[in-house]
Structure 1
Amino acid sequence: MRTETCGLGPYRADLVETYWRWEQDPALLVGYGRQAPESLEARTEGMAHQLRGENIRFTIYDLSGDEPAPAGVATLLPDHSVRTAEFVIMLGPEVRGRGLGTAATRLTLDYAFHVTALRMVWLKVLAPNAGAIRAYEKAGFQQVGPIRQAGYWLGRVCDEIVMDALATEFTGPSAITSTVATQEATPDPARLS
């Protein structure tokens, strides 16, 4: 799945060191509310578990250059019994602020609603992270409300904001439905004979 500037591809074991490097970035640690770095060895061990799990993980690619470049990870943590999922995204520091997070979030929602048939996707974001909140809103999420004093931002207690996106409200261009419509409109030469 792709747009002109962003693509989603498989989560890859050979990129574990790249994922780990992004996860150690102080801005990401603050945004997730996690205070402790992780060793590469522990991250590599965790990767094996992640590759076997039921979660849906994508490598985000920056398509603005000559070659696709890994730029982050988007994850859906599904609850199949109620057809919902939590969304988590991580971008490398070198690509933040260019709209790639919004594009990747929108592509992930497109996949969630049109491929896995989820009815709702939700996330939590620390309230002081205004840039992330704006990006999520541009991608189709709406604020539901705060979880009071549930997180930490730069060592201070803060609220977490719950946001959600509903399949019934997901509008605009779809990379999936437009691809399927194009394939359906193109006759199969084997059928014509």
Structure 2
Amino acid sequence: MLSGEKVTLRPVTDYDLERFLEFSTDVEVELAGGGEPPGPKTLEQIRTLFTGEKDGLGNSKVNFSIVADGECIGNCGLFEINEVNRTCELGILIGDRGYWGKGYGRDAVRLLLDYAFRLRNFRRVWLEVHSLNERAIRCYKACGFVEEGRLREHAWLAGRYVDHVVMGVLRSEWEGTPPQP
């Protein structure tokens, strides 16, 4: 559906859900994401998470599978979509560790930003990342995100509390034009 230099973003398939379940059992992958503590998940829980048009709170979302070399290597999407403010949260997971640190995540984030700004007409895209995920922070900065704030000791991660870094990019920054007053 959306093709970049290294990856394609396409709709989630049943096969992808099985891959997502595999990724969720890799503790290192789960810790990199920094969300809930790693724990067992079922295929049905994964299906519910990725196939609905709304999250459990009724917020709109859109999910993609990230494909490289003919294989599903992760997922990404837009969440917390606010139609009034024209904002959304970006999320991404490269679940196949063989693709970490090689520009696949950066390519996927750039495609997702193009989708958000050019095709969906969003004004601002934001995200949260835990402060220990330096690889992700470098990726987001390379894609135009700036740090907007920090939630100190916000998440419990592998035996300690860590900060969550809030980052965002405005359409004007993405386009390289001055922001509107």
Interval of TM-score (by shorter of Structure 1 and Structure 2): 0.7 to 0.9
The count of corresponding residues between Structure 1 and Structure 2 is 167
Q: AA paired with 2:13?
A: R
List aligned pairs for 1:6-25, cutoff 5 A. 6-25=7-26
Q: Can you give the 5+ residue segments of structure 2 that lack an aligned partner in the other structure? A: 55-59, 177-181
Please state if 1:151 is matched with 2:152: no
Please state if 1:94 is matched with 2:102: no
User: CA offsets, 1:141-178, max 9 Å, x none?
Assistant: 11112111111232111110000011111148xxxxxx
2:62 is matched with which residue?
A: 56
Query: CA 1:100–1:85 in structure 2 vs 1: closer, same or farther (change >3 Å)?
Result: same
The whole-number CA distance in structure 2 between the counterparts of 1:26 and 1:145 is 27
Q: Can you give the 5+ residue segments of structure 1 that lack an aligned partner in the other structure? A: 173-193
Tell me, what secondary structure is at the counterpart of 1:34? coil
* Cα offset, 1:91, TM superposition: 0.7
Contact 1:125 1:160 in 2 (8 A): yes
1:184 is matched with which residue?
A: none
Please state if 1:73 is matched with 2:79: no
Tell me, what secondary structure is at the counterpart of 1:106? helix
* Cα offset, 1:15, TM superposition: 1.8
Please state if 1:112 is matched with 2:116: yes
Query: CA 1:164–1:41 in structure 2 vs 1: closer, same or farther (change >3 Å)?
Result: same
List aligned pairs for 1:172-191, cutoff 5 A. none
The whole-number CA distance in structure 2 between the counterparts of 1:52 and 1:163 is 24
TM-score by length of 2: 0.84
Say which structure is richer in helix. Answer: 1
User: CA offsets, 1:4-58, max 9 Å, x none?
Assistant: 21111112233211111112221222122321323224425525x7334331111
Tell me, what secondary structure is at the counterpart of 2:4? coil
1:179 is matched with which residue?
A: none
Query: CA 1:130–1:57 in structure 2 vs 1: closer, same or farther (change >3 Å)?
Result: same
Question: Rg bigger for which structure?
Answer: 1
The whole-number CA distance in structure 2 between the counterparts of 1:115 and 1:37 is 36
Tell me, what secondary structure is at the counterpart of 2:120? coil
Tell me the C-alpha RMSD between the 2 structures.
Answer: 1.8
Q: AA paired with 1:137?
A: K
Counting aligned pairs with the same residue, the percent is: 29
Tell me, what secondary structure is at the counterpart of 1:131? helix
The whole-number CA distance in structure 2 between the counterparts of 1:99 and 1:76 is 20
The whole-number CA distance in structure 2 between the counterparts of 1:41 and 1:33 is 18
Which moves more between the two structures, 157-166 or 26-35?
A: 26-35
Q: AA paired with 2:75?
A: V
Tell me, what secondary structure is at the counterpart of 1:73? strand
Query: CA 1:45–1:135 in structure 2 vs 1: closer, same or farther (change >3 Å)?
Result: closer
The whole-number CA distance in structure 2 between the counterparts of 1:154 and 1:39 is 19
The whole-number CA distance in structure 2 between the counterparts of 1:148 and 1:46 is 31
